[in-house]
Amino acid sequence: MSSTPLDAQSRAAFEFFPRLPAELRLEIWRLSCSERVVEVFYDSDEDRCLTTSKPPAILHTCRESRNEGLRIFRKSFGTTSHEPRIYFCPELDTLYLPRPALLGYGDHARDFTELVGDTGDVIDLAIDYVDPAIRQPWETYNKFVLMESFPKVKEVFLVVGSDHSSDELEVGPRTVQLVDPQIDAMALDDLLASVKESFSYEVGVELNVDLEKKDPQEQIEQGPTPDVKTPTLMPLPPVLLKSKVVSAHA
């Protein structure tokens, strides 16, 4: 194994990168863009959106990478009083709207798409599961309205195990990942039943809640469960259960 330090090896390799054809360099920059979870908080006092997510690395590697990155990521989530400042790519990124600590998913959360711009192209949305022991009476309905207000969302990730006890606006830069929840089968069944029941009785809709993605064709072939009466079906995307893994930036 070579004794050359890794950073020196990287610098040496990067010296050859500019010699590659431009088309290949740009393709490499594009492939370097990975999926992210972009955590966004709406500050109602200042009518602006804040984030704990750092800008994508492609935007500050070099001039060429930044130019290509700006074709992929654009500044989003501005308000009537603040210009958009959060880089986001609907095809790659998941918009994560954590539960506010004070009033939960209140009126500002419900009206997020009316208060904030650049939400019409969001494809993946993440919101928090709220334990019934602390859930406010209005939260289930407000979450339903919030989910319904994103016209292009194909999947909603329901994040379990989040800590709602502190003011998230004070949290510094960090990376959030959504992973499969590590919950025993009995607790998982109870949680799934709780989620479905809350939407069924409080909103009158039947959610398609599961742990993993399913092939849409498979769902069509299976069809509805016979002889089971369900509330009125609403055009909501499937809801997938996820847990949150957080790592702070150095």
Total domains present in the chain:
1
Q: What is the DSSP letter of 144?
A: H
Mean pLDDT of 12-36: 77
**Residue 27 included in any domain:** no
pLDDT in tens, 32-41: 888 999 999 9
User: Has residue 160 been placed in a domain?
Assistant: yes
Q: Where are the alpha helices (DSSP H) in the chain?
A: 6-16, 22-31, 63-72, 107-110, 112-115, 139-148, 185-202, 216-222
Q: Is 116 inside any structural domain?
A: yes
User: pLDDT > 70: what percent of the chain?
Assistant: 79
- Is residue 187 in some structural domain? yes
pLDDT tops 70 at residue 168? no
Minimum mean pLDDT among 118-132, 133-147, 227-241: which range?
227-241
Whether 87 is covered by a domain: the verdict is no
Determine what percent of the chain is predicted with pLDDT higher than 90.
Answer: 46
Q: What is the pLDDT of residues 46-58, one digit of tens each?
A: 999 999 999 999 9
- The answer as to whether 158 is a domain residue is yes
H helix or E strand, kind and range, residue 160 = strand 155-160
The CA distance from 127 to 159, in Å, is 6
Counted residue by residue, the chain has a size of 250
Model-level pTM? 0.81
Residue 168 belongs to some domain of the structure: yes
Instruction: Please give the residue range of the domain that contains residue 228.
Output: 92-248
Is 123 among the domain residues? yes
